[in-house]
């Protein structure tokens, strides 16, 4: 969804687009991120799902609950502007 918006913005910028993948260097996630980016920029519809759940090393991390709370708050705040968050 984000890359389709980038594609729409590129139309008013003479076809120029800039995008950022913020997946870090997690080798299990990075291929999915690039695939989603390329498909979105090319206008190819694809179903995206999480390849893996939360890594076991982070399950017991106390900041995980805080992170989930912040994500929930951001979603609630932005849901009126981003249909995908409803």
**Hey, where are the domains in the chain?**
1-53, 56-86
Instruction: Say if residues 17 and 9 touch (Cβ distance below 8 Å).
Output: yes
Q: Name the one residue in this structure whose structure tokens are 């929930």.
A: 72
Res 16: pLDDT: 79
Q: Which residues of the chain have pLDDT under 70?
A: 1, 19-26, 50-54
Q: Which two tokens stand for residue 34?
A: 């690039």
Query: What pLDDT was estimated at residue 20?
Result: 64
Query: What is the model's pLDDT at position 48?
Result: 73
Q: What is the pLDDT at residue 5?
A: 75
Give rounded-to-5 percent helix, strand, coil for the chain. Answer: 55, 0, 45
**Global pTM?**
0.44
């Amino acid at each position: 969804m984000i890359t389709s918006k980038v594609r729409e913005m590129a139309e008013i910028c003479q076809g120029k687009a800039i995008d950022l993948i913020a997946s870090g260097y997690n080798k299990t996630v990075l291929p999915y991120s690039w695939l989603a980016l390329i498909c979105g920029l090319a206008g190819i519809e694809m179903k995206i799902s999480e390849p893996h759940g939360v890594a076991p090393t982070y399950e017991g991390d106390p900041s995980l609950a805080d992170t989930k709370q912040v994500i929930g708050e951001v979603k609630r705040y932005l849901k009126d502007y981003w249909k995908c968050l409803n």
